Structure formats: structure tokens, C-alpha cells
Structure 1
Amino acid sequence: MKRANLVVGVVLVALVVLTAVVSWVWTPHDPIRVNPATVLRPPGSTYPLGTDGFGIDILSRLMVSARACLLIGVIAVGIAAVLGVPLGVVAGQRGGWLSEVIMRATDIWYAFPALLLAILLAAAVGASTVTAMVAIGLATVPAFARIARAGTVQVMSHDYVSAARVSGTRPTMIAVRHVLPNIAPVIGVQASVSFGIAILAEAALSYLGLSTRPPTPTWGRMLRDAQTYLFSNPELALWPGLAIGCAVLGFNLLGDGLRDLLDPRLKEIR
């Protein structure tokens, strides 16, 4: 069952990535061209998933939306890891008052979720893809800082780290040679889970108009456009909803599977 989570997660993530890659070179129709003559067409051979209220092919929009979803996820998780991991490592290595200051700062940081940060940034510089990436990335920093600190504290308690410190190895070199390689698996698991959260957050921000601007399609904007036809054509909301659900589920299952595979404590239980 544990390996099944990993396999299903890999398959779903690979499907999303493949869809995004294929959309760079081919889509069934133009994903942004409005065609009043084909409004709300049912699924068929010409339009496999039908068309929306603007006459645009739904499948083409879904495919192109996967690109924005992955781009924002990669950049947001990258921002969170680049800022959060060093903070966590420093807090775990130094301890004392510095660790307390960093951890209490991350507690305060938790009070600013991605939606609130996106609203603040949108008010300051305007809604855009960059706004969404920065907001989601900053909101995820505390999670990486806590995970990195916990892993660093565990690594620092080992004898080989104590020997390195006694021999005069600088804290920076200890972090590079001993801490980071040992906490890399848990950071990778956290990155996978955070990627799913970033996709969900991006969809919410797109729905509210705080992310990628039109005419570039996103899954969240497709949901917002579909709400007008929710009772007459509910399938318009079904397809982007399924896309978001599959992507988030895939990255969450991938994270769970990697944790089960890489965590030595779980291996001992088996």
C-alpha cells in the first residue's frame, strides 16, 4: 500500500508534467481565441471536452493551464526552500536565543497566509503571476524552516558532527558536509507536499483574479468562468476541478510515498 501511494503519485505528477510539456508544441485548438459560433459545444470529435462560454476549446485551456500551474509551483517552492532551509539550519545549529528568535518569527509569519500576502502585493504592485509566486513562496517559508530545524537538531546530536566540531570545522562547512545531505530527503518530501499546496493556492488566487492575468488560461480562472453556467452546464466546472484535484493528489501521494521510502524509522517498522 505504501509503494502504491508512490506509484500513483508518480503517475499523476507525470501526467500533469507531460500535459504541460505537450502544450508547448501542440494543442487541439487555440486556447485563447474567442469563437462566438462554437459557444457551449458539447463534447465530440472536434472538441473532446466541449467548449466554454467563450467558444474556446476546454481541453486546450486545460493543457495550457498546466504550464502556469507547474511554473508557479516550482518558483514558489524554490523561494520557500531558499529562504526557509537556511533559517532552519541556523536555528538548529546555533540553538539558544537565536533559535528562539527565528522560531518565534516563523510563528508570526504563519499569520500571513498566501491569500493575504497576495492581496497585499496585488494592492502594492498589481496582480500577476509574479505576485502569486512570491505570495505562495513566502507563505510556505515557515514550514521549510521548521522541518529544516528539526532535522538539523537531530543531525547535530550525532557523534560524527561532535567530532567535526572538536576538530575545528567551521559551522558553515558542517552544515554543507553533514547537515544538508542528511536532511535533503525530508526537505524533498516537504517540497513535494508544498507543491500540491502551491497548486491549490494558485487556483484560489486565480479564481479571485490575483494571479496570472487574462487571456492566459488557468484552472482557477476556468472555475470562475464556469460558475455562470453551473446549473446549465456543470461539466464546465468539472474539468478544471478534476485537474486541480488530480494534480494536488498526485503531489501529496508522491510526498507520502517518498517519506515512506526514505524515512529510516518507517523502514525499521517493516
Structure 2
Amino acid sequence: MRWINLVLGTVLVAGVILLGLVSLAWTPFDPTLVVPGERLQPPGWPHILGTDAFGIDVFSRIMAGARVVVQVGVVAVGLALLVGVPLGVAAAMSHRWLSDLIMRGADILYAFPALLLAILLAAAVGASTMTAAVAIGVASVPAFARVARAATLQVMSSDYMLAARAAGTSPLAAAVTHVLPNIAAVIWVQASASFGMAILAEAGLSYLGLATPPPAPTWGRMLRDAQNVIFSNPEQALWPGLAIAAAVLGFNLLGDGLRDQLDPRLRDIS
């Protein structure tokens, strides 16, 4: 029954990605068009999730927010992958002093949360989608470095790596041909979990006004806008909250499913 997590995670992730891709070409209504005469409409037709306090269609904003979520997640996780994995592999395959230097640098970076980095970047270059993505990506680098280092150390102790080193294979060639293919499964699991965390971090930064500026809709800003009508119209916070929860749950389930399928020690357990 371990495949259930993988299937459910894949369905939820595919739904988020599909919403984001469809929103590039079509949304039921303009997600930025203010219509005061239709404010706070209940769910129904043609507004299937109703309208917000500005008269904007909620479902259209959810779709447009999914596009921002996917963009931030791809940039953040891609940045963390490109920087963290090589650092982790290099730390595991280098001399002790260099390994300690790399990992202590990762520990220092780990002390700066994504929120603090986003505030610093927003103060320097202004709040934007890319600012939030870079801040989240930089904050995720230490996690990838640690995972890559631990997995590489396991590979380095294997017989085929000892044979490769005895045959005179260079460290770079060994990393490309032996290490990276054998740690790919662990990295993909970490990437899936980090994508979910990136979604949650982006929602928090948008809620604080440190990510995508208005009028572009984001799920975090939808939650902030819902504060003013939370007691009279609680569904205004329900829909973006459910979207964030479903997206984060989907990527976490996908990560668990990938781990169960790719880890032979778990796959062989009946």
C-alpha cells in the first residue's frame, strides 16, 4: 500500500501545476479586475468560489496564485539544487579541513531564515516574486548540502568507489559517473519536500508583503485580504488556505512516495 502516498501526491501536485499552466492562457475572469458591485458574492454561478472584498473572482485568483507558487518553487528548489548538491558532494570527497569549512559555512547560512533573507533582499532591490524565490532558495541550500554530503559518504564507502579510486579515476569523473547517479533518489526526495516548504514560505512572505507585489494575486495575500472579513465571510480565508494545504500536502506525499519507491530498504519491506 506504499504506492498510495505516491499516487495521492502526484494527483495533488499535478493539479497545482495544471492550474498554474492553464492560468497562463485562461482564467474564468480577470484575476485583477475590481468589480465593486459584485463584492463578497457567495459561491455559485458564474463565480464558483464567490468573489472577494474587491469583487474579484476567487477561483481566478486561486488559478493565478498557483502560477506564482510553481514559479517560486521551481526557482527556489533549482537554486538550492545547483548550489547545495555540488557543495555537499565536494565536502564529502575533499580533505577534512575543506569539508569542515564548507559545512561550517552551510551552518552559518542555515542560521539565516528565508524571512530574514527576504527582508534584506526586499530592502535592497524591492519586493518581487524573484526576491522571494531567491531568498527561499538560498535558505534551502544548507539542507541540500547536508543531504548530499551524507549520501555521498555512503557511496564513497562502497566497493565500486574504492575500485574507481584505485583505477585512478579523478574526483570529478567519479562524482559525475558514480556519486551523482547513486544519490539522485535522495536528492529528488529532498527536492520534493523542499518544494512544499517553498510554497509555505512564499505564502508567508506574500502575507507579509515581501513577495509578489499587487495587483498580481498570491495565496498568501488572499489570506491577508481575508482578515478584514474573516468573521462575516470566513470562506474568504478557507479557499486560499485549502489551496496552500493541498499543495504542501501533495509535495510532501510525493516525497514520501518517492522515498518508499526508490529506497530499496523500504521497497523490500512487505
Q: TM-score, normalised by structure 1?
A: 0.98
1:107-118 alignment, distance < 5 Å: 107-118=107-118
Tell me whether 133-142 or 159-168 shows the greater mean CA deviation: 159-168
Match of 1:81 in 2: 81
Match of 2:97 in 1: 97
How far does the alpha carbon of each residue in 1:196-235 deviate from its partner, in whole angstroms, 9 at most, with x for none?
A: 0000000000000000011110000000101000101010
Match of 1:183 in 2: 183
Question: Aligned-pair RMSD on alpha carbons?
Answer: 0.9
Report whether the alignment pairs 1:26 with 2:32. no
Match of 1:236 in 2: 236
Any unmatched runs of 5+ in structure 1? none
1:1-270 alignment, distance < 5 Å: 1-270=1-270
TM superposition shift of 1:134? 0.6
Secondary structure at 1:269's aligned position in 2?
coil
Q: Distance in 1 between matches of 2:239 and 2:40?
A: 14
TM superposition shift of 1:95? 4.2
Q: Distance in 2 between matches of 1:167 and 1:58?
A: 62
TM superposition shift of 1:115? 0.4
Q: Distance in 1 between matches of 2:250 and 2:46?
A: 29
Q: Distance in 2 between matches of 1:135 and 1:2?
A: 34
Secondary structure at 1:209's aligned position in 2?
coil
Q: Distance in 2 between matches of 1:26 and 1:3?
A: 33
Secondary structure at 2:100's aligned position in 1?
helix
TM superposition shift of 1:268? 3.5
Any unmatched runs of 5+ in structure 2? none
Q: Distance in 2 between matches of 1:264 and 1:98?
A: 32
| AA partner of residue 22 (structure 1) | V
Q: Distance in 2 between matches of 1:16 and 1:189?
A: 18
Aligned identity (percent) is 68
Q: Distance in 2 between matches of 1:95 and 1:245?
A: 43
Superposition misfits of 4+ residues, deviation over 2 angstroms: 267-270
Tell me whether 95-104 or 37-46 shows the greater mean CA deviation: 95-104
Q: TM-score, normalised by structure 2?
A: 0.98
| AA partner of residue 206 (structure 1) | S
| AA partner of residue 175 (structure 2) | A
